Amino acid sequence: MTQILQIYYTKGTIVKEKLESLITNIPDFPKKGVMFKDINPLLEVHLKEVVELMSKQIDWSNIDAVIGIESRGFILGAAMAVQNNVGFIPIRKKGKLPPPVVSQAYTLEYGEDILEMALNDTVKRVVLVDDVLATGGTYNAARELCLKNNYDVKAFSVVIDLQFLNQLHKEIPNLYSIFNY
C-alpha cells in the first residue's frame, strides 16, 4: 500500500474528507466566472475507491448496463460496469459514434452542444454516470436519449452534485453523489 493510501485509510474505510481534499478548484475555467471542480487529482490516487463509493447505493440486481456520459463518465461508468458485471454504453458528443444514432441538443452552463447514443433496444435497465451534475443540461439530454431508446433509468450517479446550480437532487429519484456543494 502506498504511503498516501495509508494516510487515507481509517479502519479499512477511506475517509471522505480526505478524498475531498484532492478535489481542486480552478477559477475562471472553462470561462471567466466559472469555478471548475477538478477531480483528476482524486481519480489519479483513488479511482477504485471513487468507483466503489459511486456504486454502493445502487441495486445492481436490477441493472443491465451502465451508460457513461462523455468523457469522464466513460472512465467512471466503464469501471462501475466492470466492477458490477454489467454492460457499458457510451453517450458521446455529435459525430463520434457510427450510425444509426439518436441525438439530443442541450444547453450547458457555458454553451450548447449535441449528445448522441447508438440506436439500440437490447438493454432496458440502466444507470447513468457522469463526473459532475451542474445545471442539469447534460443529464436531461442523456435522459432524453435513454427515453428515445426505451431504456429505464434506474439511477444516476456522479462524483459531485453542484446543488447551488440545480435542485435536481429533489427531482431525480435515485440520484447518488459522493460530494455535494
pLDDT in tens, 88-101: 999 999 999 999 99
What per-residue confidence (pLDDT) applies to 142? 97
What per-residue confidence (pLDDT) applies to 34? 85
Residue stretches of the chain with pLDDT short of 50: 1-7
CATH class of this structure's domain 3-180: alpha beta
Catalytic residues: 72, 109
Residue type, 170: K
What per-residue confidence (pLDDT) applies to 109? 66
Helix, strand and coil content of the chain, in percent to the nearest 5, comes to 30, 35, 30
89 and 66 in contact (C-beta within 8 Å)?
A: yes
What per-residue confidence (pLDDT) applies to 123? 81
- What's the burial of 70, exposed, middle or buried (CB within 10 Å: 0-12/13-18/19+)? middle
Residues 46-74: tens digit of each pLDDT: 999 999 999 998 999 999 999 999 999 99
Would you state the cell numbers that stand for residue 76, as one nine-digit string?
A: 467512471
What per-residue confidence (pLDDT) applies to 5? 45
